[in-house]
Amino acid sequence: MNGKLFVKGITRFAAGLVLVGLLLFLPAGTFRYPQGWLLMGILFIPMFAAGLIMMKVNPGLLEKRLNVKEKESEQKEVIVLSGIMFLAAFILAGLSFRFGWLMLPLPASISAATVFLAAYALYAEVLRENTYLSRTIEVQEDQKVIDTGLYGVVRHPMYLATVLLFLAMPLVLGSVISFVIMLAYIPIIAKRIRNEEEVLKNGLAGYEEYMQKVKWRMIPYIW
């Protein structure tokens, strides 16, 4: 096991766990926020398990997923916008619970949790199919175009999974207000995709032909 990578991964995991907990429970004014604990469970337990699996099976992929240093200026803007969106959504979810602003019933949150876990499974399948997946926009050494499996249906199945994950999150938290805020992720991810495709088209052999072969970015016959 790569000790340095393990420490880096567990540090990032712990920091994310603490940050999300603070953003939810401080505004809620209590730890008795069932939907908050529900999200923490379905978000971080699979994340921890996936990290351990990648550490053992494909540490290179884990290292790529931990790299967040973007080189593309347009992607840096996307990261900032996404960060603001998440901060606002989580804080307002806690406040909504505290003050009873447009809260969904617990059964609705449980249904949303089912969608979230299904999207997590889709995300895991994408990682299995494409070991070149980095969190940054770049063309890697010896990278090849993946055009089978989910990539034979849409060009960006990972982003489809993240849209489902991020739109399910506020519903798991029971907050209608947070859901409206998270809708901003759709134009944000569209901006990221357009820039990513330009980078890959110009730097990855065969990607332009792949774009002609697989015409849909995320949703067949729609976009």
Residue 203 inside a domain? The answer is yes
Structure tokens at 179: 């859901």
Q: Which residues contact 54 (CB under 8 A, 6 or more apart)?
A: 61, 62, 65, 127
- The predicted pLDDT at position 140 comes to 64
Is the residue at 221 inside a domain? no
Domain count for the chain: 1
Which pLDDT score is estimated for 114? Answer: 97
Structure confidence by residue, pLDDT tens digits, 128-148: 888 777 655 566 667 788 888
pLDDT of residue 68: 64
User: Does the residue 222 lie in any domain?
Assistant: no
Q: What is the pLDDT of residue 20?
A: 97
Asked if residue 58 belongs to a domain, the reply is: yes
Ranges of residues in the chain whose predicted pLDDT is under 70: 1-2, 64, 67-72, 134-141
Q: Cβ(109)–Cβ(174) under 8 Å? A: yes
Domain assignment of residue 126, given as a range: 3-213
Q: Burial code of 131-146, b = ≥16 C-beta within 10 A, e = fewer?
A: ebebeebbeeeebebb
Q: What is the pLDDT of residue 178?
A: 98
Q: Report pLDDT for 71.
A: 65
pTM (two decimals):
0.89
Domain-located, residue 219 = no
Question: What is the model's pLDDT at position 116?
Answer: 97
CATH of the domain at 139: 1.20.120.1630
Q: Is residue 111 part of a domain?
A: yes
Instruction: Answer yes or no: is 151 within a domain.
Output: yes
Would residue 105 count as lying in a domain?
yes
